[in-house]
Amino acid sequence: MFCIGCGTQLSPDQNFCRTCGHPVRHEPAQTAGSAPSAPQPSMPPPGMPPAGMAPPVRSQPVPVITAAPGVCPWCGAAVDVSQGSCPKCGATLGLPTMKAASGWTQLPARKDMAKLQIGNSSCQIEGTYVPVADMKLAAGDSVYFTHHVLLWKDTQVTVSTMSLRGGWTRMFAGLPLIMTQAAGPGHIAFSKDAPGELIPFTVQAGQSVDVREHMLLAATSNVAYDWFDTNVWFETRNDKDTEVHYPIGRFMDRFNSNSPGLLLLHAAGNIFTRTLAHGQSILVKPTALVFKDPSVDMHLHFEQPGALYSMWGSWGNRYLWLRLTGPGRVGIQSVFERIEGESRNMTRWSNATATQW
């Protein structure tokens, strides 16, 4: 029996999950030879209609299994069905994946203290509200990260700097000029110091993933770190002053590898993923985007009020979206920020589509 909240294995005598506190539902047991008792009349629970009236119809998420038995539903790794969690990404095994009718799937539950194996090294995800990545590095193995996410380390773990290409461009764009690198043997831990979820990616050989800036927590050194211009921007004007805004950042990180490696991201709130078919598109808040496959195209989309409201000028492009078009997988976070400059008078913008009400 497993907790439906976090996936932790439970014992039959538990009434609450010791990890997340979720109540455990027990089916009433019947003794052999005894007949079921006749139903007794009772008052309906608050919010329910009286007896004889049909209950209200409510839309419920449909549980679906997105992977065959023996395959991890998140990373696709071959797993032993007797294991409680995937050794590659930590996803809890044996639970149905909850998929909403709209097509979004929540990030698979991970038990507190779930352990991931990366070659001779390992990573343990500790905590659920502000998660920590506790890595045990083997001799010769290393990880890189931005300096402000380092929580603690063993004294024998060596830390050095890792320079990145395009120094001047990165500095003007607000990206780090230097990445920090740590080499084993020993333990080292990372935390974003913010509530949210850790997203472990097992980057396979030849695989790439695009990540919005400032989402990186840590990555094994065999995962290559690159970046590209998003070309998603708009310009606003106030009198004679103009300003260029980048709703998802001027640059986006791209990670790829020639051998299996681990990429750890941290995003705010809850994480939801969706796989878009070829030509299928959705509109999302730009600051909610976490990651996407390189095959997914993105550009701005404006929703414009009709002619009755266009006399106010700045209302014309007030509603700003990011259009994502498949094929490929995308991930968003439930916490997002308001876009700077969205309510100002826009004069120019990058490639965009528009809809008028």
3-state secondary structure the chain: CECCCCCCECCCCCCECCCCCCECCCCCCCCCCCCCCCCCCCCCCCCCCCCCCCCCCCCCCEEECCCCCCECCCCCCECCCCCCECCCCCCECCCCEEECCCCCEECCCCCCCEEEEECCEEEEEECCCCCEEEEEECCCCEEEECHHHEEEECCCCEEEEEECCCHHHHHHHCCCCEEEEEECCEEEEECCCCCCEEEEEEECCCCEEEEECCCEEEEECCEEEEEEECCCCEEEEECCEEEEECCCCCEEEEEEECCCEEEEEEECCCEEEEEECCCCEEEECHHHEEEECCCCEEEEEEEECCCCCHHHCHHHHCEEEEEEECCEEEEEECCCCCCCCCCCCEEEECCEEEEEC
- Rounded to the nearest integer, the mean pLDDT of the chain is 80
Can you give the pLDDT at residue 273?
93
Mean per-residue pLDDT pooled into runs of 10, the chain (357 residues): 69 70 62 53 55 56 56 75 74 73 81 84 90 94 91 95 64 64 94 91 89 92 89 88 90 89 92 94 95 96 69 59 95 89 82 86
Can you give the pLDDT at residue 40?
53
Can you give the pLDDT at residue 314?
47
CATH number of 112-356: 3.60.160.10
Can you give the pLDDT at residue 65?
47
- pLDDT (tens digit, 9 = 90+) per residue, 86-120? 877 777 776 666 778 888 888 877 777 888 888 89
- The residue ranges of every structural domain in the chain are 7-12+62-109, 112-356
